[in-house]
Structure 1
């Protein structure tokens, strides 16, 4: 395995998850702020590791494997924590996590068949809105008179709708391969 900066950032996202979990349970606004800061840092490294890997020509098999896993683990952890604490509807967590599992499995199956399904623009928007929603829900306070909780809920509903839409797009694009006889 080539230990690139991108791979280090991706691995760091996995390592930060237990710290994020502990910080989430700190009492009051300390926990809100620290968990939001950690999640924001991790979300930025998600973008940064991909950018660095592509721009420096350092895309590796390890990075291609671990990057989506790290992203899903981080988002799933945040959504489960938010739903279990009553800060987010469990149905939204189920929609988002369920789609990630299903599309991850679909992409893996397609990769074994040497078929690539590229990330759609809707999926990129979904990810961005989802990350912002999670940060706002983690903050769970008012900033400049605006409830971050309410902003986060609205954005999470939008992210869930985009999650379903992008999931449909993946299935539609993969359908010919799925129904093709072996």
Structure 2
């Protein structure tokens, strides 16, 4: 078990703790949940860095890393939608989670065709992820009604992330479109 894979597993193990802390009836629960989410986001960057730098890339890690990322983000979005009771946040969350499902399915299908590199992570995807992570940390750190300026900044960034999410999905689908138009023979 490589260090990179251990960090990915640690990110998954943080999810139940993150949920419990988020729901604790204390003033510090929101900032503490934001810290846990931030630690998870840092492990996401760190496990990739370690895997590349120390040649610790494994098939297990290649499978588990994106799963861990999507789980943590989806859980954070679900918690925030429940806490904020906002159609604006719900729409952004639906776009982000929906896109992740579409792109995961697309990547799996492209891998079956031997064309997975056509839908590899792009620079735009990295910018989207950064905006999304910062937005989620801001929205997690503050109770919805107590800091309207932070909520506004978080909503702006989550909508920026949702817009970049749709844009990157369009780019991935455009790259895959020629293969989607081919006749399928079972």
TM-score normalized by structure 1? 0.93
Q: Residue 30 of structure 1: which of 16, 22, 28 is its match?
A: 28
Query: Counterpart in 1 of 2:78?
Result: 80
What displacement does 1:86 show?
1.4
What displacement does 1:28 show?
4.2
State how far apart, in whole Å, the 2-side matches of 1:52 and 1:181 are. 42
Q: Deviations over 1:135-161 (max 9, x none)?
A: 00001269xx98322211110010000
Query: Counterpart in 2 of 1:69?
Result: 67
State how far apart, in whole Å, the 2-side matches of 1:51 and 1:177 are. 32
1:11-160 to 2 correspondence within 5 Å? 11-86=9-84, 89-115=89-115, 116=117, 117-140=119-142, 147-160=149-162
State how far apart, in whole Å, the 1-side matches of 2:159 and 2:26 are. 25
Q: CA RMSD in A?
A: 1.7
Give yes or no for contact 1:141–1:147 (8 Å, CA) kept in 2: no
State how far apart, in whole Å, the 1-side matches of 2:51 and 2:182 are. 34
What displacement does 1:58 show?
1.1
TM-score normalized by structure 2? 0.91
What displacement does 1:121 show?
1.2
Unaligned stretches of 5+ residues in structure 1: none
Q: Which segments of structure 1 move beyond 6 Å, counting only runs of 4 or more?
A: none
What displacement does 1:54 show?
1.0
Q: Deviations over 1:72-131 (max 9, x none)?
A: 000000000000111662111100000001101100111111112221111110000000
Q: Deviations over 1:19-66 (max 9, x none)?
A: 000011122431111100000000010011011101111110000000
Give yes or no for contact 1:87–1:137 (8 Å, CA) kept in 2: no
Inter-CA distance 161–123: structure 2 relative to 1 (3 Å threshold): same
State how far apart, in whole Å, the 2-side matches of 1:45 and 1:150 are. 27
State how far apart, in whole Å, the 1-side matches of 2:125 and 2:170 are. 11
Unaligned stretches of 5+ residues in structure 2: none
Deviates more, 1:125-134 or 1:25-34: 25-34
